[in-house]
Structure 1
Amino acid sequence: MAPPAGAAPARLPSTFAWGVSSSGFQSEGSSPDSNWRRHTHSGRTHDRVGTSVDFRHRYREDIARAARLGVGVYRIGVEWARIEPRPGVIDHDELAYYDDVVAAIVAAGMRPMITLDHWVYPGWIADRGGWADPATREDWLRNARRVVNRYDRFHPYWITINEPFTYVTNELRIGGITPAAVPTMVDGLVDVHRAIYRYIHRRDPKAMVSSNVAYIPTVEPALDIAYLDRLRGALDFIGIDYYYSVSPGDTNAWRAATEEQWLAPVAADGLYYALRDYARRFPGIPLYVVESGMPTRDGADRPDGYRRGDHLRDLVYWLQRARGDGVDVIGYNYWSLTDNYEWGSYTPRFGLYTVDVGTDPTLTRRPTDAVEAYRRITAANGVPAEYRPTRSAEVCSLVAAPSSCLEPVR
C-alpha cells in the first residue's frame, strides 16, 4: 500500500547541497604501496585493484559529468600513500595531481568535499604496525595538516575519518591490527579527529568538518558510544552514510556484510529514521548524507526489481519528509558517480555511471537510469510535491529501533 496522498515531501532550501561521493583508492587505480594494495595482492580478494576506473587519468571527464548532473559538491579522497610514499619523502607530482583535481572541481562550479582518511595508509605505516602503533597518530596529523594547508583556501567540506567502525572492522579483517589493538586504534581515530578539527578551525573559523558514520540499523547508537559520542563539540555537521534496511522476519539483512550486497534490503524509508535518530541524539547539529546508494551485481537488475533511478527518487522523498518534520539535513551525496573497486571486488556496482572494469579496456562510462533522475532532482531541488515513493514504507522498520517501529512514518 502506497503512502497516503497527503504525505507530501517538504520543499528544500535553496542552500541545500547536492553532490556525488568517491574515494581515492577505490576509483583512482595505479595505486602505490599501501595497506590495501598489499591486501589486494595477497590472493585473499576476489579482484585486484589494478586500474580501477582510472580516475587518476580521467578525473577531468568525470568532474565534467558531475557538473552536468547539476550537483554542487564533489567528494574526493586525498591519499596519504600517494603523497608520502616513504617516511618524510613527498611526491610533488602526486601533490600536483591533487592540485589539478581540486582546481577542476572548483572551476566546474562545485565545492570540494575532501576526505583525509578513507581506510588507506602508506605501506611504511603498515610496516610499523598501522594504528596499533601510537606513533601513527602524529604521522597521520603531519600529513593531514599538509593537506589542510594546501586546500583550505577553497573552503571545502572536510571529512576526517571515513566510517570509523567499518575502518576498524576492515583492519581486523585484513590483518592490519589484532583484536587487542582495537582500543588503541579507536582512541587514535578520536584523537586525530579532534586535533585536526582544532587545526582546521584555527585556519578557517567557518570551516565545516565532520566524520561520516555508516549507519548500522538498530545498533548504531551503541556503536556511537565508542567514537561519535566522543566527538561532541568537534563536529560542525554529522555525516551519515545510509545504504541498508532491516525489518522483522527479513532473512537477507545480513547480506550487507557479505560479498552479496545486492541481495540486502535497501528500503528507502530507513533514511528518514536514520536522520531522525541523529537529530534526536545530537540536537542542534546539522546532518549531511555523505553517502547513499544501492548496489547491483555487475550492473544487472536487482532480484527485488528496485531500479537505481526509482531508489534515488524514493531516498530524496524520505529526506524531504525528514526535513519537513524538522530535521536539519543540509546536503545529500550519491555514492558514487561511477562504479569503482568495492574493497576486494568489482562485482558490486553503485555508480550512476556503470563501468565494466573486468571486461572493457576502454573503461567507458555508461549512464544508468539514475543519471537523468538525478539531473531532474538537482534542477528542481528535490522531488516534486506530488511525488510518492515507488515502494511502501516498511510496516515495522528496525533501522532505528525501537522508535522506527513504534513511531512509524507513513
Structure 2
Amino acid sequence: MTFPKEFLWGVATSAYQVEGSPLADGAGPSIWHRFVRTPGRIVDGGTGDVACDHYHRYEDDVRLMQALGVKAYRFSVAWSRILPEGTGRVNPAGLAFYDRLVDTLLAHGITPFVTLYHWDLPAALDDRGGWLNPDVAGWFADYAATLFRALDDRVPYWATLNEPWVVMDGGYLNGGLAPGHRNLFEAPRVAHNLLRAHARAVEVYRAFGRHAVGLVLNLEPKYPATDSEEDRAATARADAYMNRIFVEPVLTGRYPDLLPEIFGEAWPEIPEADVERIAAPIDFLGVNYYTRGVTAFDPDAPPLQAKTVPQPTSTYTEMGWEVYPDGLYDTLAWLHGSFDVPPLFITENGAAFYDPPRCAGGRIEDPLRVDYFRTHLRALCRALTDGIDIRGYFAWSLLDNFEWSYGYTKRFGIVHVDYRTQARTPKASARFLARVFATNGACLAREAAEAGRDG
C-alpha cells in the first residue's frame, strides 16, 4: 500500500465558508451575502460574515497547515473581492489578499491549488441574470484572466468551477442554496452556461497560462436498489442527471442521451459549436467524493422518478450521507475505464460527524471521521494499484466552517474552530492525516499489517 513519490497531500476550504469579512476592503456582495439574510434559508440563522476569520488569520492557518505536514492547500477566490461589480473595475485590495496568501503558502512549502468559483457569484451579476444570462461565460473569462495574470507565475493548479451540479440543482432547481430558485426550465440552461464559462476560462488559460487547468466535479455513484427494470432505469436517470451531465460534455463532447427525457420540454437546444468548445482538453479532473446513492423508482419524485434508499446496516454522517468507501474506488474505476480521462485529483473527501467534548489535555477525539479517512484512503490506494492515474488527495475540510444552508450546525473540519474565540484545535483526524502525509501513506500499510496480525 504505497503512494507515488510526488503524490500531493492537501486540505481544502472555500472562500465564503472560511474567510469572513465578505465586504472588507472594497469587496462587493455575493449571492450568499444576500441569501443568508433571507429569513428561513439558514438552519441556525448564521452568516459567513465572520466564519473562521481566515481573511485576517490566514498566516496562522498556513502555519497550522505546515505543522500538520500539508503539502498543498486548495482554496477558492471570492469573485466579488476581485471585481466588486462582477465585471470591469478590479479591486486592488481584494487581489492583494490572495497575492499575500499565495506568497505565504509558498514560503511555508505549501503548493497553492486555486478554485476560481465555489458558488459565490457576485450579487451585481445575479441582478443581470446570473448563470441564466448567456453573457456569464464572458464575465467569467474576464474574471479568470484577471487572476491568471496576477497569480499564475506562482500557482501551478487552477480549477475553473467547483461542483457545477450543486450550483444547478441546489441554486436553480431545488432552491436550497443561493440564489434560491426553483425552476425546472432554468436548471439545464444554468448547467450549459456553467460549462460554457468553464470552456471560456480554459481558452483564456491556454492563451498565456504556464501550468495546469481543470474542473472539479462532485460524483456520486448510483446503484440500483433491486434488479428490477424500473430500479435500473431510475438508476440510469439519476446517474445521467448528477454525474454524466457534466462528465460527458467535457470528456466526450456530447450530453447524455437521457437528459432530454429527464427534463422534457425544459431541455434546451444545444448548439454543436458550444459542446465542441466545452470538450477542449483539460489538464486534470478533480473528483469530490462523499457518498453513494442506492436508487429506486419513485413515480412521485419528478423529474427523475427516482429516490435514494437508506441502507439499514450502514453508518451515516450527520449530513445523512452513507459512508461507503468502495464508492470512491468504483467512481475512479468508472472514469478510468469509460473515458479518455486526464490525471485525477481527489479534490474533496471528508465527513461531518458529531465531535465529542474535549478529553483531558484538551484533545478532541473524532474516531468516526478518522475511520472515514482511513477507509477511503485504502480505497484510493486500491485504485492506484490498479493503474489509475491519481495525482493527489485533499481532505475536506481544514477547518470547521460555515456549512452553507446548514449554517454552523455541521462540522467537517479536521481542525475544531471555537466560533466564539476563533481558537483552532487539531482533532484526532488531523493527527491521523499528519501521519499519512508524513509517511506518504506508508502508515496505512503498517496499520493494515498490524490489524492482520491481531486478527
Tell me if both proteins adopt one fold, taking TM over 0.5 as the criterion: yes
Q: CA deviation at 1:51?
A: 0.4
Q: Deviations along 1:36-75, whole A, 9 cap, x unmatched?
A: 1100011121222220011010001111111222121101
Q: Deviations along 1:325-354, whole A, 9 cap, x unmatched?
A: 111111100011101111121111110101
Residue 188 of structure 1 aligns with which residue? 193
Residue 122 of structure 1 aligns with which residue? 122
Residue 30 of structure 1 aligns with which residue? 21
Q: Deviations along 1:256-286, whole A, 9 cap, x unmatched?
A: 9xxx844422122322112111111224521
Change beyond 3 A, Cα 1:282–1:314: same
CA contact (8 A) 1:72 1:111 kept: yes
CA contact (8 A) 1:36 1:120 kept: yes
CA contact (8 A) 1:314 1:390 kept: no
> Which ranges in structure 2 are unaligned for 5 or more consecutive residues?
24-28, 223-237, 252-279, 296-308, 359-365
> Which of 216, 225, 242 is the aligned partner of 2:289?
242
Please say if 1:369 is aligned against 2:428.
yes
Q: CA deviation at 1:247?
A: 5.5
Please say if 1:313 is aligned against 2:347.
no
CA–CA distance in structure 2, aligned partners of residues 282 and 261 of structure 1: 34
CA contact (8 A) 2:369 2:429 kept: yes
TM-score by length of 2: 0.76
Deviates more, 1:281-290 or 1:305-314: 305-314
SS in 2 for 1:227: helix
Deviates more, 1:74-83 or 1:245-254: 245-254
- Map 1:228-267 onto structure 2 (within 5 A): 228-232=247-251, 233-246=280-293, 250-251=310-311, 261-267=318-324
Q: CA deviation at 1:367?
A: 1.2
Q: CA deviation at 1:83?
A: 1.4
Q: Percent identity?
A: 31
Change beyond 3 A, Cα 1:198–1:253: farther
- Map 1:5-44 onto structure 2 (within 5 A): 9=1, 11-32=2-23, 33-43=29-39, 44=41
Q: CA deviation at 1:380?
A: 0.9
CA contact (8 A) 1:309 1:373 kept: yes
CA contact (8 A) 2:220 2:331 kept: no
Residue 352 of structure 1 aligns with which residue? 414
Which letter does structure 2 place at the counterpart of 1:135? Answer: D
Q: CA deviation at 1:189?
A: 1.3
- Map 1:3-402 onto structure 2 (within 5 A): 9=1, 11-32=2-23, 33-43=29-39, 44-46=41-43, 47-86=46-85, 87-172=87-172, 173=175, 174-175=178-179, 177=181, 178-204=183-209, 207-218=211-222, 219-220=238-239, 222-232=241-251, 233-246=280-293, 250-251=310-311, 261-297=318-354, 307-344=368-405, 345-357=407-419, 361-382=420-441, 383-388=443-448
Q: CA deviation at 1:147?
A: 0.7
Whichever of the two has the greater Rg, that structure is 2
CA contact (8 A) 1:255 1:263 kept: no
CA–CA distance in structure 2, aligned partners of residues 126 and 152 of structure 1: 28
Which letter does structure 2 place at the counterpart of 1:239? Answer: G
Deviates more, 1:223-232 or 1:348-357: 223-232
CA–CA distance in structure 1, aligned partners of residues 395 and 402 of structure 2: 16
Change beyond 3 A, Cα 1:156–1:389: farther
TM-score by length of 1: 0.84
Count, aligned residues: 372
CA–CA distance in structure 1, aligned partners of residues 93 and 152 of structure 2: 20
CA–CA distance in structure 1, aligned partners of residues 59 and 409 of structure 2: 25
Change beyond 3 A, Cα 1:155–1:51: closer
SS in 2 for 1:186: helix
Q: CA deviation at 1:311?
A: 1.9
Which letter does structure 1 place at the counterpart of 2:42? Answer: T
Q: Deviations along 1:267-324, whole A, 9 cap, x unmatched?
A: 22322112111111224521110000011246679xxx95222221222111111111
CA–CA distance in structure 2, aligned partners of residues 252 and 31 of structure 1: 42
Q: Deviations along 1:124-151, whole A, 9 cap, x unmatched?
A: 1111121111222212211111011111
Q: Which has the higher contact order (CA 8 A, sep 6+)?
A: 1
Which letter does structure 1 place at the counterpart of 2:51? Answer: S
Which letter does structure 2 place at the counterpart of 1:226? Answer: I
CA contact (8 A) 2:20 2:48 kept: yes
> Which ranges in structure 1 are unaligned for 5 or more consecutive residues?
1-8, 392-410
CA contact (8 A) 1:299 1:349 kept: no
Change beyond 3 A, Cα 1:254–1:214: farther
Change beyond 3 A, Cα 1:14–1:143: same
Deviates more, 1:26-35 or 1:219-228: 219-228
